[in-house]
């Protein structure tokens, strides 16, 4: 079976993305980065690609996009567009299945091995204690990602009136983002009724589940659990109490009364400064 590549979309040249890439290659991952300046990442083991080569869908979507978030227009738009860039890249390179992750992630294993042995469905996402889903660490087949891109276009062509009605009474931070689109897509719902569906359905192909009662994927280091088990892990100073042992990452699971191995850690937002402390090559 062919290798499952790790695909990362990133704009800029921050230190943390280099930590992400170098650690991923240490574990022999096939790493591809779609970026604005490939020359930033011109070292062994990385395939760096200019994402602006893949703009067929994004140019059309920009004309449809309406902004319904307290976050910046630019941020929310690019978070949606990245799925289109990645889809076009996968199609152009005949990549039938990929692991897609954010650039503030540290991998502690070869993802291809895990995808081929444990993640055989066509899509996997992470769930959160807030009962949402995210694609910051995800698995997509090419066909499933194509379906998602098509869903995004249909959503913005048909659901703006429903979103505008909802927006009149929405006063909290945040709003419509790529996670909203993933949420409706994965629950096979086409009519927008709010940021969460009635009865809070749980997405089953969840990377934050514990596989073989032994390992899992991190939604992000600052949360203690997922949708079904929001308070699973031992925390310290508002983040998981991670132990690095023999170049693997572990955290104590209070429900199972045992250590669980994390195949990756996600240092979202303000936690990016912690990446160097958890970077296994820092002393080499």
The tens digit of pLDDT for each residue in 119-162 reads 999 999 999 999 999 999 999 999 999 999 999 999 999 999 99
Long-range Cβ pairs for the range 38-46 (8 Å, 24+): 40/13, 41/17, 46/21
Per-residue pLDDT tens digits for 207-263? 999 999 999 999 999 999 999 999 999 999 999 999 999 999 999 999 999 999 999
User: For residue 74, what pLDDT band results from cuts at 50, 70 and 90?
Assistant: very high
b/e code 74-112 from CB counts within 10 Å (16+ = b): eebbbbbbbbbbbbbbbeeeebebbbbbbbbbbbbbbbb
Instruction: Calculate the average pLDDT of the chain.
Output: 96
Q: Does 43 score more than 90 pLDDT?
A: no
Helices 73-92, 56-64: crossing angle, 10 deg rounding: 150
User: DSSP class of residue 118?
Assistant: H
Of all helices (H) and strands (E), which one includes residue 218? none
| pLDDT value of residue 282 | 73
pTM over 0.75: yes
User: For residue 82, what pLDDT band results from cuts at 50, 70 and 90?
Assistant: very high
Per-residue pLDDT tens digits for 123-134? 999 999 999 999
**Domains in the chain with CATH codes:** 6-209 (3.90.550)
* Mean pLDDT value across residues 83-111: 98
Query: Which conformational region is residue 189 in: left (phi greater than 0), alpha (psi within -120 to 50 degrees), or beta?
Result: beta
């Amino acid at each position: 079976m062919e290798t499952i590549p790790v695909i990362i979309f990133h704009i800029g040249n921050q230190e943390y993305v280099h930590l992400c890439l170098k650690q991923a290659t240490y574990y022999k991952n096939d790493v591809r980065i779609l970026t604005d300046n490939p020359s930033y990442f011109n070292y062994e083991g990385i395939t760096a690609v200019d994402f602006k080569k893949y703009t067929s869908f994004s140019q059309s979507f920009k004309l449809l996009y309406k902004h319904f978030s307290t976050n910046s227009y630019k941020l929310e738009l690019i978070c949606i567009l990245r799925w289109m860039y990645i889809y076009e890249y996968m199609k152009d390179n005949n990549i039938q299945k990929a692991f897609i992750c954010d650039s503030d992630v540290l991998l502690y294993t070869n993802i291809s091995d895990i995808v081929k042995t444990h993640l055989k469905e066509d899509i996997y996402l992470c769930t959160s204690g807030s009962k949402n889903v995210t694609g910051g660490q995800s698995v997509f087949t090419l066909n499933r990602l194509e379906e998602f891109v098509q869903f995004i276009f249909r959503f913005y062509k048909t659901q703006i009136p429903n979103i505008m009605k909802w927006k009149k009474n929405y006063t909290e931070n945040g709003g419509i983002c790529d996670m909203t689109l993933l949420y409706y897509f994965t629950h096979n719902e086409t009519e927008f009724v709010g940021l969460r569906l009635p009865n809070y359905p749980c997405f089953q192909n969840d990377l934050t589940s514990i596989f073989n009662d032994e390992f899992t994927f991190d939604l992000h280091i600052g949360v203690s659990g997922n949708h079904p088990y929001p308070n699973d892990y031992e925390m310290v100073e508002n983040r998981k109490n991670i132990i690095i042992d023999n170049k693997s990452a572990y955290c104590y699971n209070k429900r199972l009364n045992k250590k669980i191995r994390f195949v990756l850690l996600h240092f979202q937002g303000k936690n990016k400064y912690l990446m160097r402390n958890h970077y296994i090559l820092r002393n080499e």
